[in-house]
């Protein structure tokens, strides 16, 4: 990833390329970047939910990662993201 600000809802994969702490890769859903925190050039703080094997949030995390090592999986604004979480409409009962 180069230069793009991460948006709420982006799903990213973090490996050792993002930080040595991710020798076992994890997938997170971004809540927001934390721009007010001091970082080194090319690094950023993320507020995110770690996702389990079923794609559900298992933990909230604040992560310090190298921007170029972040692998965006599903930007929040794509049609693919909308297909993963369809909107359920309640069925109408007793309407003629």
Tens digit of each residue's pLDDT (9 = 90 or more) over 45-71:
999 999 999 989 999 999 999 999 999
* Kind of pairing between the strands at 70-74 and 26-33: unpaired
Which pLDDT does position 58 carry in this prediction? 96
Whether 45 is covered by a domain: the verdict is: yes
Whether 94 is covered by a domain: the verdict is: no
Regions of the chain short of the pLDDT cut 70: 1-3, 74-96
Whether 96 is covered by a domain: the verdict is: no
Which pLDDT does position 35 carry in this prediction? 86
Which pLDDT does position 95 carry in this prediction? 57
Q: How would you classify residue 42: left for phi > 0, otherwise alpha for psi between -120 and 50, otherwise beta?
A: left
Whether 39 is covered by a domain: the verdict is: yes
Domain that includes residue 69, residue range = 11-79
Whether 57 is covered by a domain: the verdict is: yes
Which pLDDT does position 47 carry in this prediction? 96
Q: What is the total count of domains within the chain? A: 1
Whether 2 is covered by a domain: the verdict is: no
């Amino acid at each position: 990833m180069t230069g793009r600000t991460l948006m709420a809802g982006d799903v990213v994969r973090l490996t050792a390329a993002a930080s040595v702490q991710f020798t076992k890769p994890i997938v997170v859903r971004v809540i927001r970047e934390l721009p007010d925190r001091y970082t080194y050039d090319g690094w950023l703080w993320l507020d995110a939910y770690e996702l389990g094997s079923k794609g559900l949030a298992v933990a909230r995390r604040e992560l310090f990662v190298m921007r170029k090592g972040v692998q965006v999986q599903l930007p929040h604004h794509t049609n693919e993201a909308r297909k993963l979480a369809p909107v359920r409409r309640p069925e109408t009962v007793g309407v003629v």
